[in-house]
Amino acid sequence: MKIYGGKPPEGQDVYLRAQKAQGKDATGKSEQLQGSKRVADRVEVSGKAKEINEMKAEIQRLPEVRTDRVETIRQAIESGTYGIDPGKILSRMLEEI
């Protein structure tokens, strides 16, 4: 492998000419001529994608641990009122297998 200093390899000018012929600028983005103006490619995000991003942001705002729920269960365990259903635990374990 050859490492070139600040000067690009000689074959790169061929690549740049090919990009220009395809209507792409130096960054590789396509451009179209519309009249005498250049129009760059653009992307529009759909309404559904915006809605998904809003939902993601809302989820990110939720706390990692629901401390109120944890405290309620902790108090129930300490007072001895927290009920455990062994049959339900067994059925879930068998589902996992």
pLDDT tens sequence across 42-89: 778 888 989 999 999 999 998 888 899 999 999 999 999 998 899 999
Nearby residues of 89 by Cβ (< 8 Å), 6 or more positions away: none
Q: What sign has the CA pseudo-torsion 31, 37, 42, 47?
A: negative
pTM for the full predicted model: 0.33
pLDDT tens sequence across 26-53: 555 555 555 556 667 777 888 898 999 9
Residue-level pLDDT at 15:
66
For residue 40, list its beta bridge partners.
31
Q: Is 33 helix (H, G, I), strand (E, B) or coil?
A: strand
